Amino acid sequence: METLDDVLLDADDKMDKSVQFLQQELGGLRTGKASPAMVENLNVDYYGSQTRLREIANLSTPEPRLLVVNPYDPTSLGAIEKAILAANIGITPVSDGRVIRIPVPELSEERRRDLVKVARRLAEESRVAIRNVRREANDAIKGLQKEGTISEDEREAGLAEIQKTTDQRIARVDELLEAKEKDVMSV
C-alpha cells in the first residue's frame, strides 16, 4: 500500500529526472564553442546495432572550435561520419582515415535566435512534464485521503510539499534556460 512519503519521493524523483533530461538536451544544443555533448549521444549503426557515439569513440576538444572523434575501432569511421551528417546539426565531419575532425563554424545571428527558440521549447516541455508529475502526485494524495490512509491535515501538508518541490524544479529549469540563452547569444 502506498503512503504519503512514497508519493512525495516518487514525485521528487520524476521531477528531478525531467530537469536532468533538460540539462542533457541543452548540453547537446550547439553554441559557438565545440563541445563533446553536441555529438556524444548520436546513435551510430555499429555492426548492425544502434550504439551511442561516446561508447565507441573518444571525444575531445583540443581547440575551442574543433571537436575530435577518435574511434576505438578504426573500421567504424564511415558509420560515425554518416551518423554525424544524418544528425543534421549544422556541422560537417572531416576524416583523415584515423580520426574525424569536426570544425565548429561561427553561428550567425539568425541561427543563434533559432537555437534560443529550441532551448525555450525544450524548457517549456520540461515545465509541462514537471506540472504533470505534480498533478499525478496531487491526485494520489487526494486518493489516499479518500481511502482514509491519511488525514485532511496530512493531505494539505502533502499538497503544499508537492507545490514547493514543483516551484523549485521549475526555478531550476528557468536557471538552465537563462544560462543556455546567455551562452548561445554570446559571440
- The answer to whether 53 touches 59, Cβ cutoff 8 Å, is yes
pLDDT tens for 13-69 read 999 999 999 998 887 776 667 778 778 888 888 888 898 888 999 988 888 888 899
Whether residue 185 is predicted with pLDDT greater than 90 in this model: the reply is: no
- The answer to whether 38 touches 91, Cβ cutoff 8 Å, is yes
The C-alpha cell 516541455 sits at: 125
Whether residue 1 is predicted with pLDDT greater than 80 in this model: the reply is: no
- The answer to whether 104 touches 33, Cβ cutoff 8 Å, is yes
What does DSSP assign to residue 90?
A: S
- Strand, helix or coil for residue 43: strand
Query: Which CATH topology does 4-27+108-185 take?
Result: Topoisomerase I; Chain A, domain 4 (1.10.132)
pLDDT for 30 equals 66
pLDDT tens for 72-93 read 988 888 889 888 888 777 778 8
Whether residue 107 is predicted with pLDDT greater than 90 in this model: the reply is: no
CATH classification (class only), 33-103: alpha beta
The segment(s) of the chain belonging to CATH 1.10.132.20 are 4-27+108-185
- Helix then strand count (H, E) for the chain reads 5, 6
- The answer to whether 4 touches 158, Cβ cutoff 8 Å, is yes
- Spatial separation of the C-alpha atoms in residues 160 and 175, rounded to whole Å: 23
- Spatial separation of the C-alpha atoms in residues 18 and 110, rounded to whole Å: 29
- The answer to whether 116 touches 181, Cβ cutoff 8 Å, is yes
Give the pLDDT mean for 106-113.
81
